[in-house]
Amino acid sequence: MSSMSTRAAEAAREPGASSLKEVAMLFLRLGTTAFGGPAAHIAMMEDEVVRRRQWITRDRFLDLLGATNLIPGPNSTEMAIHLGHQRAGWGGLVIAGICFIVPASLITLVLAGLYVHFGKRPQAEALLYGVKPVIIVIVFQALVGLGRTAVKTVPLAALAFLAVAASAAGVNEIVVLLLSGVGAAAMVVPTSGLARGVAAAAYTVPAGAGAALASSVQLSAVFLFFLKVGAILFGSGYVLLAFLRADLVDQRHWLTVSQLLDAIAIGQITPGPVFSTATFIGYLLAGVPGALLATVGIFLPSFVFVAISGPLVPRLRGSLMAGAFLDGVNVGALALMAVVTLALARAAVVDVTTTLLAAASGFLLLRWRANSAWLVLGGGLTGVAVCGWLR
């Protein structure tokens, strides 16, 4: 009986047309209904593929989750791609990723069009007025939660403070991430004095080490920028804030801080991956072609990294150096999040109403773990009500 069950389970995992259809239907549904950010997405995936459908074991699921933390890109999207590959081979890899990404991107594209045409009207401004302080609180709550997991030791805490100081001083965000990883890896190799020296010296790199300022927004520039972000960004979609603000607001001047907050807000009120924010920004910069290229650019590296790393999962899981490097990168990512969240908060929490909205959202998140999508909706409705009452 046991051998028959085993053979049945193995047969259920064999790739085929029915498997591809199952993958497509599941991730199309998740891409349309999965609100709440990467952590919520991964929890929903675990419920579907481990508990309900039994496509893989819980141990295998955890191995794949660990692998997503060792490669750049959006964690929940890469988890979807991994699971599609597990269920239906290479076809499943592509289908799962596309079905998870496309619904959120299409919804975001529609909202971007409405924003461009109606975003400056009083109703839209009132909506975003109420949404922005809620977004700041959601990001801050995610930062606190991730910090409890990532800052495991006193040396990592010291590395985090160093990364915060470097980011605040204007050091390029990629340099902060890479050298945080090198610094953490050096901690587990006592003989590597050279690595420690490089890590310590790296934070003296001037702020000008980043990309050159763009003189105009061209389609190729939009694609290459988001391709770079998708290829080097570790951590959750919230870390995207730091990269977008550093490059698009501070260096290239393609967006204002207000527009960036609006883009992040749209990413929060839509289901699926938070990285669909790229679709919104691409539309603001270069219309529908810009939205398409930004979306392809930011998600394309995830497919490549999952395809390469999938077979290496068992080895990566047991690597001391890979784990230490990841610890450092996570700490550096949190530092970037902390700096950019503080800067954006100054633009979002501007009066008594927005202060009360932020405080109420924080209370609901901490006390009852309220769904972030409902908080964003409540903030928007409050903004409309308050602004309408004031007029």
Chain centre distance of CA 251: 21
Helices 320-348 & 173-187, crossing angle to 10 degrees? 140
Helix and strand totals (H; E) in the chain: 17, 0
**Region of residue 96 (left: phi > 0; alpha: psi -120 to 50; beta: else):** alpha
* 8 A C-beta contact, residue 37 and residue 142: yes
Write out pLDDT tens, residues 41-82: 887 888 889 888 999 988 888 778 777 877 888 888 999 999
- pLDDT, residue 376, reads 79
Say if residue 297's pLDDT is above 90: yes
- pLDDT, residue 106, reads 94
- Residues ≥6 apart with Cβ < 8 Å to 282: 222, 226, 290, 291, 292, 293, 294, 295
Structure token pair of residue 274: 């938070």
- pLDDT, residue 64, reads 83
**218 φ/ψ angles, rounded to the nearest 5 degrees:** -110, 155
Write out pLDDT tens, residues 178-237: 888 889 888 887 544 444 444 444 444 443 333 333 335 789 999 999 999 999 887 556
| Mean pLDDT computed over every residue of the chain | 80
Say if residue 95's pLDDT is above 90: yes
- What is the percent of the chain where pLDDT is above 70? 81
Least confident of 48-52, 96-100, 130-134, 387-391: 387-391
- pLDDT, residue 202, reads 43
313 pLDDT tier (thresholds 50, 70, 90): low
- pLDDT, residue 200, reads 46
How distant, in Å, are the alpha carbons of 16, 54, 254 from that of 87? 9, 10, 41
- pLDDT, residue 40, reads 67
286 pLDDT tier (thresholds 50, 70, 90): very high
The answer to pTM > 0.85 is no
Burial 104-121 (b: 16+ CB within 10 A, else e): bbbbbbebbbebeeebee
Write out pLDDT tens, residues 152-162: 899 999 999 99
> Tell me, what amino acid is at 162?
L
More confident site: 270 or 25: 25
Structure token pair of residue 150: 């990532």
